[in-house]
Structure 1
Amino acid sequence: MDFAYDARTEELRAKLLAFMDEYVYPAEEVAHQQRERLASPWETVPVVEELKAEARRQGLWNLFLPDSEYGAGLTNLQYAPLAEIMGRSPQLAPTVTNCAAPDTGNMEVLTQFGDEQQQKQWLEPLLAGEIRSAFAMTEPDVASSDATNITTHIERDGDEYVITGRKWYISGAMHPDCKIHIVMGKTDPDGEDIRRQQSMVLVPRDTPGVTIKRAMQVFGYEDHYHGGHAEVIFDHARVPVSNLVGEEGGGFAIAQARLGPGRIHHCMRLIGMAERAIELMCRRAVSRNAFGKSLAQQGVVHNWIADARVTVEQLRLLVLKTAWLMDTVGNRGAHTEIQSIKIATPRAVVDILDRAIQLHGAGGVSQDFPLAELYAGARTLMIADGPDEVHQRSLARRELKRYL
């Protein structure tokens, strides 16, 4: 594995770093001020649209898609350092470059499994940033860490599917531009193969029977920039059979194909969040005095900063190795590494953010610094895309199998 970035990655890194310095970081406070003046907190603030136009103008758009027909045509290894940079401002940067979840995963699903009509109707406007989308999988009434537990029914009635179920923490669903849900449910609930019971269908938001019940909070945050996390009710919502994604019984496999890239993208951005935390720690340490000397002279602060730097360097290498394996042997060949980074990265970044919050005192838990919101996002990723314990269970079984 070559540790040097190739020429194209270096070129995009330079452009993206300049874009962040010139446009994104200054826009963070502007966006907060503009949001306070909106009639609804779910509306898009004007500065976001301005940044999207500038990102497109600079060619910093759809960087996540490896298919050059639809996106930048970057490998996972090329995209990793770019996602890390965007992770330093996770509320704005991924959104304004059209690289934000859940749209990224949904675009990947439509690219791989959508038919020509589905791609024209939904993928093309998503690629253009004209609409937003949601991925409806998690349910409140079952342990969704085991996706085979999902109870939402997708029943065929002639030329239509009838969808009935309750979902929650459906990211993006509160956004007024969210026009389409990819819904996972059971088309064959009594099937012998529990991994062939599920299917995915496209359900437009304005379908009769679809109700956005409420916005779910995450540690008190509603995540307005990403369109929130909604509880959604599907009450006999009807869609044409042509809205099936892939084949009946293929929902579980599609979900796994979607979640692999999603997990590494989250880990890439988490490293950027940790880098932002280290920067804020250092700036705080050299600017504040306590007990007769600066915080930068306190031994415990030295330990926090040194440990954070070592941890980030370790995590980055593991994420880059995983990206390289995904590029060279495929997602299945990198399964162990994907699970490893999913376990290691969020918990380590949560610890770094916790130290950064501690160093900032009351300011660390306030809205005057991004640390509390970063912490909420990082801590959530110990649950999202499969809780840590599920990945630990699977990883340990794979290790033990060699000895049984």
Structure 2
Amino acid sequence: HAMRTIGKARQAFDMLCDRALSRITRSEPLADKQLVQEKIADSWIELEQFRLLVLRTAWKIDREQDYNKVRGDISAIKAAMPKVLHDIAARAVYVHGCLGLSNETPLAAMVLDSFQVGLADGPTDIHKVTLAKQLLRGRKHSQGLFPDYHIPARRQAALAKYGLTGQEAGLKAAVA
């Protein structure tokens, strides 16, 4: 699915660029408008980031030969796929105007395909959860990384100021 999505997103990007160069408004091409240039740049960046993620994951699959070692990367691809396709196709529709929503171009179908891609291998949210679990696996709370030594003293000062005990303040145990 990922390479097919890259192909569709690339087609939408090419259509976006072609339309920006060919459409003239107020005696200048759309490509000269800063907003359109921003859409082109954002689309290219998003497309290249996704393409490189897919190629890197394919390389890791070939190298590792173990699905469990690349499960997080695969989930990242599955989570990013619908967003990349939707965002690039929607920008192309925007630059095409009503023509982009008509049956004259494949752009409207690409926007709808982005929803289908998001459901094909399971909901995007599930892939994000899988990715987060993979990223957190093997990590431990690093003591002292974020200084929190001042918190008990401040809590004690606040409790003393208002004449409360830890239990009265809703704490499980009074801070020593």
Q: TM over 0.5: same fold? A: yes
1:235-274 Cα distance to aligned partner (Å, 9 max, x none): xxxxxxxxxxxxxxxxxxxxxxxxxxxxxxx111111111
SS class of match (1:367): coil
Residue among 140, 143, 152 paired with 1:403: 140
Give 1:296 shift: 1.1
Alignment partners' CA distance in 2, 1:348 and 1:316: 10
Alignment check: 8 A CA contact 2:23 2:30 kept:
yes
Aligned to 2:100: 364
Match status 1:279 vs 2:14:
yes
Q: After alignment, is 327-336 or 315-324 more displaced?
A: 327-336
Cα contact 2:79–2:128 (8 A) shared by 1: yes
Amino acid at match of 2:46: T
How many residue pairs get matched?
139
Alignment deviations for residues 153-204 of structure 1 (CA, whole Å, 9 cap, x no partner): xxxxxxxxxxxxxxxxxxxxxxxxxxxxxxxxxxxxxxxxxxxxxxxxxxxx
CA deviation after TM superposition for structure 1 residue 336, in Å: 0.9
Task: Indicate the residue corresponding to 1:351 in structure 2.
Answer: 87
Deviations 1:301-325 (A, max 9, x none): 1001111111111111110011111
Partner of 1:239: none
Pairwise CA distance, 1:399: 2.3
Structure number with the higher strand fraction is 1
2:35 matched residue in structure 1? 300
4+ residue runs over 6 A deviation:
none
Taking the TM superposition and a 5 Å limit, the aligned residue runs for 1:5-404 are 266-330=1-65, 331-401=67-137, 402-403=139-140
Unpaired runs of at least 5, structure 2: 142-176
Letter in 2 for 1:288: R
Q: Which amino acid aligns with 1:360?
A: H
C-alpha displacement of 1:343: 0.9
Aligned residues of 1:267 and 1:346 also touching (Cα < 8 A): no
Identity of aligned residues (%): 39
What CA deviation, in whole Å up to 9, does each residue of 1:17-61 have, x standing for no partner?
A: xxxxxxxxxxxxxxxxxxxxxxxxxxxxxxxxxxxxxxxxxxxxx
Tell me the distance in 2 between the aligned counterparts of 1:312 and 1:287.
22
For 1:389, give the aligned amino acid.
D
Whole-Å Cα distance in 1 between the matches of residues 136 and 60 of structure 2? 22
How far apart, CA to CA, are the structure 2 residues paired with 1:269 and 1:371?
Answer: 15
**TM-score w.r.t. length of structure 1:** 0.33
Amino acid at match of 1:403: K
Give 1:403 shift: 2.4
Cα separation, 2, equivalents of 1:370 and 1:335? 32
**How much does 1:362 deviate?**
0.6
- Report what 2:145 is aligned to: none
Show structure 1 runs of 5+ residues with no match.
Answer: 1-265
Q: Determine the C-alpha separation between the residues in 2 that align with 1:395 and 1:376.
A: 25
Code of the aligned partner of 2:140: Y
